[in-house]
């Protein structure tokens, strides 16, 4: 099956779905197929088994993580304008 240099694994879609979608899919697939560091033994042998299930191929540790990477970075909480004033007045 032919792949292109630019989109890599998303080359299987050919000209369908648009370039932006194919580039996003290629980036996600590269992330999820990459080997990651094990949190228990430290070896770079962690592979994805299924959605959010990861397993170390060295020590056998199985754990839950993110869908595309074992540890997803936590985002900053979103501040809603006016929330501080409302909560202080209600106390």
Q: Is the pLDDT of residue 87 over 80?
A: no
HEC per residue, 25-85? HHHHHHHHHCCECCCCCCCCCEEEEECCEEEECCCCCEEECCCCCCCCCCCCCCCCCCHHH
The model's pLDDT over 8-34, given as tens digits with 9 standing for 90+, comes to 888 888 889 998 999 999 999 988 888
Place of tokens 């299930």: 53
Containing structural domain, residue 55: 35-66
Contact 41, 58 (CB under 8 A): yes
Contact 68, 31 (CB under 8 A): yes
- Domain count for the chain: 1
| Residue 4 resides in a domain | no
Beta carbons within 8 Å of 76's beta carbon, 6+ residues apart: none
| Residue 10 resides in a domain | no
């Amino acid at each position: 099956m032919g792949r292109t240099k630019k989109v890599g694994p998303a080359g299987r879609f050919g000209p369908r779905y648009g370039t932006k979608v194919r580039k996003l899919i290629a980036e996600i697939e590269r992330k999820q197929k990459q080997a990651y560091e094990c949190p228990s033994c430290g070896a770079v042998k962690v592979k994805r088994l299924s959605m959010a299930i990861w397993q170390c191929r060295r020590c056998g540790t199985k754990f839950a993580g993110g869908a595309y990477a074992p540890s997803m970075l936590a985002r900053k909480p979103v501040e809603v304008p006016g929330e501080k004033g409302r909560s202080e007045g209600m106390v």
